[in-house]
């Protein structure tokens, strides 16, 4: 009886993960704005579908590469997804890039909230990696 219960739980876990689909770029409207894609990413993130959330943020990076504010926000959010998934090295690397954008000439034009959030996540990732930070 215990074996059946364990198998049923395992099957439920597999089915719940497989239901978390990632869209295809061709299925996303060409005229979708960065705000539209961010909304989809947040909905995916809130439902625990981190792969789909990352897909939407990466699509922002691709489609809106000239919009430094949108790209900085998307980069931060991807790093935050990595924090949630305990991919500390990946998060740390992206957050270093995000923070360097704020410390450059264009930093004053970027959304200020992400600077504070990036610093918090950067320190957390550094701690998990056993690194000391100067940022």
Q: What is the pTM of this model?
A: 0.83
Asked if the model's pLDDT at residue 6 lies above 90, the reply is: no
Q: What confidence score (pLDDT) does residue 134 get?
A: 62
Asked if the model's pLDDT at residue 1 lies above 90, the reply is: no
111 to each of 46, 70, 73, 121, how far by Cα in Å?
22, 9, 8, 16
How many whole angstroms separate alpha carbon 102 and alpha carbon 44?
27
Tokens linked to 51: 């792969």
Closest residue by Cα to residue 83 from 46, 50, 56 = 50
Q: Give residue limits of the domains in the chain.
A: 22-129
Long-range contacts from 41-46, C-beta under 8 angstroms, 24+ separation: 41/77, 45/77, 45/81
- The answer to whether 74 and 60 are in contact (CB under 8 A) is yes
For the domain made up of 22-129, give the CATH fold: 1.25.40
Average the pLDDT over 79-103 and give the result.
Answer: 97
Average the pLDDT over 32-40 and give the result.
Answer: 98
Chain mean position to CA 31: 22
Least confident of 14-18, 73-77, 117-121: 14-18
Query: What confidence category does residue 14 fall into, taking pLDDT thresholds of 50, 70 and 90?
Result: very low
């Amino acid at each position: 009886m215990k074996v059946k219960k364990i198998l049923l739980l395992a099957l439920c876990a597999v089915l719940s993960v497989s239901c978390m689909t990632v869209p295809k770029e061709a299925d996303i409207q060409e005229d979708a704005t960065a705000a539209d894609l961010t909304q989809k990413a947040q909905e995916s993130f809130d439902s625990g579908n981190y792969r789909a959330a990352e897909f939407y943020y990466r699509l922002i990076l691709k489609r809106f590469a000239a919009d430094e504010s949108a790209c900085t926000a998307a980069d931060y959010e991807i790093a935050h997804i990595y924090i949630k998934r305990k991919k500390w090295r990946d998060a740390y690397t992206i957050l270093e890039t995000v923070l360097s954008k704020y410390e450059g000439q264009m930093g004053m034009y970027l959304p200020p909230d992400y600077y504070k959030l990036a610093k918090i996540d950067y320190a957390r990732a550094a701690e998990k990696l056993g690194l000391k930070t100067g940022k």
